Each structure stands twice: as C-alpha cells, then as structure tokens.
Amino acid sequence: MKSTKDDDRIRTLAGKDEEQLLNAFFVFYKTARILDENNDTFKKQRDNFVRCMKNVAKSDPQVTIKLVTGRYFVNELMVAFDENGLSGAASVVSEWKKIGLGGVKFNTEAAAESIGLFFSYLSSLRPDDHNVESISQELSDRDLSVVQLLSLKALVVDTPVVTEEMRREFRNTARKTFFRAMSTVQEIVQNTRSDKEINVAKTKRVVHSLIDQILRDEQSVVELTSIRDYDDYTYAHSINVTIYSLTLGVRLGLDRGRLSQLGFAALFHDVGKVKLPSDLINKPDAYDENDWIQMQRHPMLGAKTILRNMKLQVHTARAARAAFEHHIHSDLTGYPLLQYAKRQPNLFAKIVAVVDTFDALTSGRVYLKKNLGPDKVIKKMRHQMTDKFDPFLLKIFNDIVGIYPAGTLVMLTSDELALILTNNSKEPSRPYIKIVGDRNGLFEEPIWIDLSLPEHADRKIIRRVEPEHYGLNVRDFVLSD
C-alpha cells in the first residue's frame, strides 16, 4: 500500500538533484567501461555519483533510477533528461533493453567500493549473453545485493508514467517557456527592423529551453501552437514553426547539437518578411500578382539579413540556408527560382517547409481566403501537394499532429465539448482531453479525462468544432486549468 508521501512524490516533477544524479549515473557507467576501480578518474566519478545519490535520498534507505516507456525517473520523480547528450545514455539503455533491464535500485547505505564494483560488473557485460535473472544471481554470488535490478516488463506494468497533476505542471512550465520565447522573438523582430545587432546567445538559450520542454513532454508545448489571436502573427508563427520543427527533429533522432541548429534556423526562417512593407504583410485582402512578387522576395531578404546582422558560425549559416530554401519544393518548383546549380533543399529547409505550410494554412493568414482545420490541412498536404514536400517528413509530421491536434475543440457523443490536450499514438481517436462544457453551457471547472481508459469507452469524438461558431476562444481553454 502506498503512503501519502509516495503519492505526493508521484505527482511532482524532478528537481536539480535528481537531474544531477541521473547524469552522474550515466557518466560513471561510461567511465566504468574503460577504467578499473583503482583509477583516480574512476574513483572521482564513483564518489560524485554517491554524493549525488545521498543528496537525493536524504533519509531514504533506497534510491531508484529507472526508464519507463521512454521517460526517466529517479524514484517516482520524472526527470527531463537528454539521453543523446554527453553522457551517452542512449547506448546504455539500448543494452538494457536487450537484457530486459528497466532500472536499478541502490541501497543508500552501501559502501562506495561496493557501488564501484557493481558498476564495473554491469558495464562489462555482453547483452547477448545475459538477462535480468542471470545478472541478479551473479550479483548475489558476488555479495553485491546492495543493488537490486528492476525488470523492464514489471516497470511498464506497475509504474504510473504521467499523472493528472504532472500533466498540469508540464503545461504550466510549457506556457512560461512559450511566452519567454515569444518575448525574445519580439526583440529579434524589433532589432531587425532597425538593423540592430541580434543577440545570438540569448536566442540559442531560448531554443534550448524549447528543446528541454519538448523532450520532457512535447504535447504540452505543441498545444500552445493552437493559440492564434496575437497582435502580430509574425511572432506566433516563428515560435510555432520552431516548436513543430524541433518536435519533428526529436522524432528523427537528431542529437542536441543538431536540434539547436534546427531550432535556430526555424526561428529565423521568415526574418526576411521584416524587411517587407508592413502594409503588405498585414494586407486584409487577397494578394494580387504584384503582392506575390513582393512576398517572394522574403527568402532572399532573410538569408541576407541573417548573414549581415549576425556573426558567421554554424547556427547562422544553417539559418541563412533554411531561410533561403524553405519555399523551394522537392520538385524544385517554388521560389526563389534556381537557374543554376539546381539541388534539393537541405534537411532543415525541408522540415521548415512542412511545418511552415501547415501553420500558415491553419492560421487564417490575411492573404489566404480562409483558414482550414488541421485535419483538412494535413489531408491537403498529403494528397494535393505531394510534390512539394518530402513524403517521409510529412508522414512523421502527420504522426505528431494526429487525427485531432492538441488544442482542437471537439464534440463528444455525450454532447460534451472538449479540448484535446495530448494525442495518443497507440489509439489516435482516444486522446487525453479536457471537457469544458455541455449542452447547458461551459463548466466552471473542466473535467480532465483519458479517453483510452475503459471507464470512458462510452465517450467518443464525433467531430471537430469551429470555436467561432460557438463564440468561443481556444486561447481561453488552452491557458486555463
């Protein structure tokens, strides 16, 4: 039976102590692969791990490190952790999966020497020759029972991955990150308009904060892209394209360095529009031929602006190329027209092209006849614009958006109105939702439910709802709990 203390821990995200412990664990693991117990560096990493463990444990006799359905936990606290970072956790976890290992439980009173012997033994194993049971027996034979191995299958069944309280905390953190990024984009646009220097370091920090948030819980960030009522669409569009691009990059398995470059490029993909007349950008009518000629200058203007206003480095070079190429299609149509050295846009430009089109078509831009629902846009992109985009990237993006993208209002068979919060990759038609009203009106307190649970089998999504038809504003639902 779980204690109240255990329940409180499950509903809380990990802090710095847990993050440091997890990083120390994998750093020491990698160190133990190449150095023996008598090496000074080995001892240094061992002692650092033990120190981090005691900081987390405080008075607890045990500390658990585990991986459940792709998420890292220290005890029952979920940790935001980049497994592709310097600690090289991804390769370690890959070996764990082969032997059925899901985690490790440490006795916090164990001697540092015993902890060191355990790491040396575990890191030396060949995954093809062992399983959890055989390793556990070997640890017992070596008198290393101060450490307990956790079965991967048991963890998947028994460990709660994301509770309702954790989801809410994810969303609150995501909002803070989103609006900090929005403020930075406003500063970038204002500096660009006046030809002032752009703070590249600050921009990189914003991108990294978005990466951290997406790695922790991508849907809590993606949901915010459904907010459309901003005074200047340029700001929101830049952030939306960055969020979608980074999410796609994560799905592709890009390492953190490449994600940083991708996010930076996405953030600046439309910076050339700042150099166009504001009455063109904000024109309330459909564009005529001359308007389109002017608009098609923005990729070239963007590349020039980036190269002129920023110090040349990998991030700015990739951003300039993405700005220049993101309207050049896979069939080499689009703009700018390439007269010489015709070649395919690079990966970053192809990613930005997909998400830029999606956000523009769903946003109700002033130069479009009308905005389309996300489901209709994806269908249009997949079946009517097949030569414009990389089909593999479009397929992955389709998986990210899902049948009902986060932030979509839907009607249920129960005559209830609900907001989609998190997609369900296993059952796309059964997402996590927030019921905000019914036929009698909006609720004072929304109801949060997971449609994939058996007790909600009678609730099904009928259709997407146009918020304006009901005098509703998605922003009010997205930003309220």
Residue 480 has pLDDT above 90, yes or no: no
Residue 248 has pLDDT above 70, yes or no: yes
Burial of 88 by CB count in 10 Å (0-12 exposed, 13-18 middle, 19+ buried)? middle
* 152-198 tens-digit pLDDT: 766 654 545 566 677 777 788 888 889 999 899 889 888 888 888 88
Name every residue whose Cβ is closer than 8 Å to that of residue 141 and which is 6 or more positions away in sequence.
none
Residue 271 pLDDT class (50, 70, 90 cuts)? very high
Residue 366, pLDDT score = 47
Residue 7, pLDDT score = 39
Q: Determine the average pLDDT of the residues in 83-106.
A: 77
Tell me the C-alpha to C-alpha distance, in Å, between residue 320 and each of 191, 208, 262, 326: 17, 19, 11, 10
Asked if 223 and 240 touch (Cβ cutoff 8 Å), the reply is no
Percent of the chain with pLDDT over 90: 33
Q: Which of 6-20, 130-144, 242-256, 354-368 has the highest mean pLDDT?
A: 242-256
* 458-467 tens-digit pLDDT: 999 998 888 8
Burial of 135 by CB count in 10 Å (0-12 exposed, 13-18 middle, 19+ buried)? middle
Residue 353 pLDDT class (50, 70, 90 cuts)? very high
For every residue of 99-158, DSSP letters joined together read HTEEEEEEETTS-HHHHHHHHHHHHT--GGG--HHHHHHHHHHTT-TTEEEEEHHHHHHH
Residue 41, pLDDT score = 95
Query: pTM for this one?
Result: 0.72
* 140-161 tens-digit pLDDT: 888 887 788 888 766 654 545 5
C-alpha radius of gyration, the chain, whole number: 25
Smallest CA-to-CA distance from 291 within 279, 303, 308, 300 is with: 279
Burial of 145 by CB count in 10 Å (0-12 exposed, 13-18 middle, 19+ buried)? middle
Position with higher pLDDT, 149 vs 230: 149
Position with higher pLDDT, 300 vs 157: 300
